[in-house]
Each structure stands twice: as structure tokens, then as C-alpha cells.
Structure 1
Amino acid sequence: MRFNPSFSFIKKSRIFFIFSIAITVLGIITLAMFGLNYGVDFKAGSNVDISVSKSMVGQKEAIEQYLKDGGFAKSTVTVGSDRVGIRFDDVLQSDKETQLKKDFAEKFDADASMEVNTVDVEMAKELQLNALKAMFVASIGIIVYIAIRFEWRFAVAAVISLAHDAFIVISLFSILRLEVNLPFIVAILTIIGYSINDTIVVFDRIRENMRFAKIRSPQDLAGIVDSSIWQTMTRSINTVLTVFIAALCLFIFGSESLKMFSLAMLLGLLSGAYSSVFIASPIWYVLKSKQKPKPAANKQATP
């Protein structure tokens, strides 16, 4: 088993543990102070998606002023080259919806088409609960699979790594005040699936190398983990780059509705690649190194 002796992931693991703990603590503080910027999917309100026939770039202030003068509820306006999005914090009543459609056609674009999505309070609460259930069920399923397929130490290391990935993305969205909606939840679940796939590849190589290794000391075990990570490094880098480029293109060229999804994917891919190498495998090493050696079988003396 060959590995790069110039860098040991296990010897440097303390640094990465401290780094990840620091990010986690910062995330907890920001979440406690600012919370998440929930979209209409997770709180009551209306989201208006307007497809326009001409560019609205530079018209944001005019649209905001019209909404203010028109007596509309508090809103957030986003303007693209061919699309305008308006998020109202309160449910848009039917008379206001009719007024908005009529006035927008008269003042901004006569050929614009408008779609209104409204979420009431009860539906928002139900969506929040279902999103949490989906993430919980996915995590439990992963724990059960890895515990059966490998061993409980691999399962514990994998779950800590997955929680680390999801929490980093959630924390960054909280710090940057980015909108959290249903596509964001889909992105988190996708990140969990991708990250566990990358982690299992490393775990499988560790298990294979353990079959033919003679472990006499923690140093021998550390050598196996380092060797396994280096053996899968090329595959991990290629996979990350391939998916990252696809997500980056989706972020740059995709529609406004996919911006938050693709951004969450980009952040999650980087976090997942990092945790698979620097968090999951070292945690397994820590747990495995504390395992008590099995007592040798007593040999009966020959007469």
C-alpha cells in the first residue's frame, strides 16, 4: 500500500477538526442571532413571477416605487433580463393581484405574463415539518445502511460528516441572508447523497486494505487510512470537478429560480469533498484506535 509520506491526513487531523468546530460554532451563533431568510415556501406570503418581453434591467427602483405608492404589502423585488420576481411578505389578495396585473401591463410591459404562488401560514408550517422529516429519514437510512454494510464506527463517522456538510451550507445561507426555499432543501438532500457516496468510496478502500494489513500499533492504522485516502484521491477530485462545473454552469446560465439551488450545490460540493477526506476518515480512525484488542486464544499445552 503506497501513499504520499509528505502529508498525513491523520497527523494533521487535529487542525481540520479545530477548523470545522470553529465554523460550526460561528454557524450556531449566526443562526441564533439572525436565523434563516425563509422564502415564501416556508412562511406565509405570495411570490409573483413575471415573464417580460423586454429587458427590465434598471427598472427595479421604478417597480419598487410603484408597489409602495400602490399600497401593496412589504415586498422584495428581483429583476432579470427576461424575468421579474416580487415576493410579498403577506398573502396577496385577489383585488391586489388584479390591480398588479393591470398596472404592470400599463406601466412596464403590455405583453408580460404573470404567475402568482401563495402560501398560507398552515401550509408553510407543514412544508417546514415535511422538510425536516425528509432530512431526518434520509440520515437514519444512511446510518442503517452503513452500519450493516460496514460497521458502526463507519456509520458514526459518516453521519458526523454529513451533519457537518449540511450545517456549513445552512450557516453560509444564514450569514449571507440568502433565501431558503424548497429548491434549497432539495439541494441539501442532493448534497447528502453526493457526500455519502464520496465517503463510502474511501471507507470501502479502508476496509479492503484492512483485510491484508497487520495492525500492531496506531501508527500502522494511521498509515492504512492515509494510504486509502491517497488511493481514492484522483477519483474524488475528478468527481468533484465534474459535478462542480455542471453546478457552476447552472448557476451562471440558469434561471433566477435555480440560482439558490445551484449556489447551495456549489457550497455543498466543496464542503462534501472536504469532509470526506479531512473529517469522516480521521473520525473513524479515532474511534477505531480506541478499540480494545481482542484477547488471543489460549493455546492448550500438549501432553
Structure 2
Amino acid sequence: MTTVAAPTRRRGLFATLGDIYHERTNFNFIGRSRIWLGVSSLMVAISIGALLLIGLNLGIDFEGGTQWEFSVASGNPSSTQVREALKDTPARDARILTLSNGGVRVQSSELKTADRELVTQALSNYSKVDASAISIVSVGPTWGEQVSQKALIALLFFFILISVYLTFRFEWKMALASIIAVVHDIFITIGVYALTGFEVTPATVVAILTILGFSLYDTVVVFDKIKENQSTLGREKGDSYSSMVNRSMNQVLMRSLNTSFIALLPVISLLVVGSGILGAVTLRDFSLALFVGLLVGAYSSIFVATPILVILKEREPRFRALRDRSGPSVSAVAVESVVLDEENVMPAATPNPNDQRVTPRARQSRRGKRR
């Protein structure tokens, strides 16, 4: 008889979500760590390329200069018309931005008082509003340098704090993995600003510091579960550090998803309602950085920090020995994603037409003849 396996069925979306909610998943996170790290490396490379080739659209708080902001008396403003109005002024090469609330923002390098008044009068003539109704802000280059230095000092201070905390709370390898994940988040968030051309303001820096704290929190949640399960490592046959980490990540998956989803709801409100509907540019600068950072931070805590931790830890003799004794790596033995989980069906037996029935031979009596 030849045994033929019956076709398998894939689980539905609601069954998958139910397994995630009840922490019954067995996603193969570590087995696919090369894919996750490859995707992250590609995103970081694109971000660095955008920073080098395109650069950041820094606001006057960082570069210094003069900014005019006004609204036209009637109609909709146009960047082309504003530039035409400024063609005979020292601000002919100024950066012009039309706002969603019908306003216009003009930014140029630092100008003398007489030149600023000339630009203000040209904008007043274009907008048909009084010159006193035009908002003017001037920031010197020294102030811009101070803001940039303070932003870099704040980031450096943050890195030092998280390194010290995670080293004492866990160990230095977890601290190193966390820092790499945080740097990953910074590069991608800044890369999005370079690609989109959105202005980088002090509100953007505040948002980046906020998302770094969230990313660190999500990473600590995962590492805390890994540390808890590490105490039982080696009690089961075939267990390794990779399989233990994979099990830990599945256990905290629901909590991580819930935290990210709840945090994204108010940020989406700020981004859509605050900047899109109300036209608050400051809210847009803040909410965009938060939105991108929360998404990237949730990704990096699972798909960047944890695989890097496994690479560092399995270089230790103890965990390397466990990996060698466990046989195939977790990528070979871990169950596939729950989305691809299958309900096993008992194999059905089908007759083979080439099989031939064998008739048993008659048993001969061993009793000899009686003489």
C-alpha cells in the first residue's frame, strides 16, 4: 500500500488573531533574523543616502535667518506669485511654503533691518494686507548653532543614560543591542524627513527624543521576558538560546502590539486633525516624527534588537554549546508563522494498482509416516 498525504488547510485571519491574543503563536522570528536585519540595513542605507544627497530642510532655529508669515486678503496664495513679488528684493532666493490654512511662510538668510523692511513691503503689496499684520521673526546664526549643539548634547546624554541603565538592569550586551536599535530608529526617522523635505524644527527634536524613550520601553519589555526565561534555559532537551528567545518574543508579542497601537492612536489624531484639518504646522512637525518613530521603534524592538542580542549571546561558550547540542537551528525546527499554520489531516491510504496479492503457502505437516 502507498500512503499519500491529504491536502492541508491554512488557518484564517481571525484564528490567527485569536492565537495572538491568547499567546499561542509560534512565529519564527529568530529563524528569519537575516531577513529582518537585511531589511533594516536597506532602510538605514536609503536614509543615509537621502541625508548625503538631499539633506535636511532645517528651520531657521537651526540655520538662523529671517522668517515672514502672513495670509492673503483674498484668494489662494501661490508660491510662484510670491516669488515673483520678491524678485527685486534681497529675499529673491528665499524658501517659500504655502500653509494649509491659506497662509504663506517665507524664510531667507539673515538680513539687515533695511532689507527686511523692503521684503516686508513687497509681501504687503502682494497680499493686500497691512505690513504690521505680517509676522517677522529673526534668528541669528549664533542662536541656531546653540540649538543644534543642545540637540546633539541631549541625544548624547540619552545614549549614556540608557547604556548605564540597561547594563545594570540586564547586561552590557543587551545595552549594546538596544543602542543599535535606537540608532536604527534615529536614522530612519531622519531619513524620512530628508526624503519628504519636511522642515526640521525644535519640535522635531523633541519628538525624536520622545520616540527614543518609547523604543527603549518596548525593547526593555522584550528583554525582561528573555531574562526571565533564561533562568530555565537548558532544562529541556534540545533547547537553545535562540529557541528560548523565539519563545519569549511570542509571549510578549500581544503586549508589544497593544502598546504600539494605543500609542499610535493619539499620534494619528495629531497628524490628521491637527496638521491636516486645522493646519497647525508645529503639530505636523511633531506628529510626523512621532508617527514614523513609533512604527520604526515597534519594529526594531522585535526585529533588530533581539536578533542582534542572539548573535552576541551565542558567541559565549555556554550558549554556543547549547546550540551545538540542540542540533538544527531554530530556523529549521520552529513552526512557521501562525498565518501559515496548518491543520494536520490524517493521511489517507490509497491502493496501488501494481501491488499483487500474495497467497500464503499451505503449511506442511512435519509429522513423519508411521511405520
Shorter-chain TM range is 0.7 to 0.9
Aligned to 1:265: 290
CA 1:98–1:47 in structure 2 vs 1: closer, same or farther (change >3 Å)?
same
Indicate conservation of the 8 Å contact 1:54/1:82, yes or no. Answer: no
Higher relative contact order (CA 8 A, sep 6+): 2
TM-score normalized by the length of structure 1: 0.86
CA distance in 2, matches of 1:185, 1:104: 31
Aligned to 1:108: 127
TM-score normalized by the length of structure 2: 0.71
Among candidates 111, 133, 145, match of residue 92 of structure 1? 111
Aligned to 2:360: none
Mark the runs of 5 or more structure 1 residues left unpaired by the alignment.
295-303
CA 1:206–1:82 in structure 2 vs 1: closer, same or farther (change >3 Å)?
same
Moved over 6 A (4+): none
Q: What are the equivalent positions in structure 2 for 1:1-303 lying under 5 Å apart?
A: 4-5=25-26, 7-50=27-70, 52=71, 57-80=76-99, 81-88=101-108, 90-110=109-129, 113-214=133-234, 219-254=239-274, 255-293=280-318
State, as a whole percentage, how many aligned pairs show the same letter.
31
**1:292 is aligned with what amino acid?**
P
CA distance in 2, matches of 1:49, 1:199: 42
Aligned to 2:277: none
Question: If you compute each CA radius of gyration, which structure gives the higher value, 1 or 2?
Answer: 2
Indicate conservation of the 8 Å contact 2:90/2:115, yes or no. Answer: no
Q: Secondary structure at the match of 1:17?
A: helix
In the TM superposition, what is the alpha-carbon distance from 1:272 to its structure 2 partner? 0.4
CA 1:218–1:122 in structure 2 vs 1: closer, same or farther (change >3 Å)?
farther
CA 1:266–1:293 in structure 2 vs 1: closer, same or farther (change >3 Å)?
same
Aligned residues: 291
Flag the structure with higher helix content: 1
CA distance in 2, matches of 1:46, 1:36: 18
Q: Secondary structure at the match of 1:46?
A: strand
What is the root-mean-square deviation in Å for CA atoms of aligned residues? 2.6
CA distance in 2, matches of 1:141, 1:183: 22
CA distance in 2, matches of 1:215, 1:260: 51
CA 1:266–1:94 in structure 2 vs 1: closer, same or farther (change >3 Å)?
same
Indicate conservation of the 8 Å contact 1:3/1:227, yes or no. Answer: no
**2:81 is aligned with what amino acid?**
A
CA distance in 1, matches of 2:273, 2:317: 55
Indicate conservation of the 8 Å contact 2:85/2:123, yes or no. Answer: no
